[in-house]
Copies of this chain bind each other. A is one copy, B any other.
């Protein structure tokens, strides 16, 4: 480590370069609407502004580890599907210094909305993506980029797995698609397509609601996000 550090200093003389943060855009569908998880900072300069959860990357930590740390310490969420979105690096995006942010997209199952009450510093809340409040830094831009990416991936990958519970009905799945995409889908065509793709399978169980026909429950065959033309 000493040797590494000395070389480091020699080659990349510190103090004259940008440093790295991760910011995590966490989405979930709540009450049939796409929501994003926002925190309110207590820095006086940013009073009243909301931000997506984030943190600076520690020297010995990978980007993914930093994301996981942000999720567990700031939101109490675990085992969340994440993927890298893009990196935002305008020199003046952070008023406190030169911070380049690697943004991540994270999806939370509809059945995991309970937020940890152990978040230390900040207010935290689910906010509908099409009614974003005033936000700090360039976080509005980041959230919009994330929403756009989510919509795109929904149509050509099995990313919806991240936002659906482990077992779900076809109507739930369709509803998720409709609310993320923002337009209605044809029930028969949707079911035909999804079933023909073979990405999900029936569990054999049924979901009984109040007074209607029970719906068959399905699960995803694969646990990883696959690339297939869905819509």
Contacts and interface: CB of A to CB of B under 8 A. Distances in A.
Interface residues of A, number: 34
The A interface is mostly helix, strand or loop, or mixed, namely loop
A86 B102 CA distance: 9
Interface stretch (A29-37, A51-59, A176-184): A51-59
A59 B96 contact: no
A155 B223 CA distance: 27
Interface in A198-229: none
A141 to B, nearest CB: 14
Nearest to A19: B17
Contacts of A98: 8, 59-60
A119 to B, nearest CB: 19
Contact of A8 (B12, B96, B102): B96
Interface stretch (A69-77, A87-95, A109-117, A158-166): A87-95
Interface string A142-181: 0000000000000000000000000000000000000000
Interface string A1-23: 00011011001101111111000
A59 B102 contact: no
B7 A96 contact: yes
Contacts of A61: 91
Contacts of A136: none
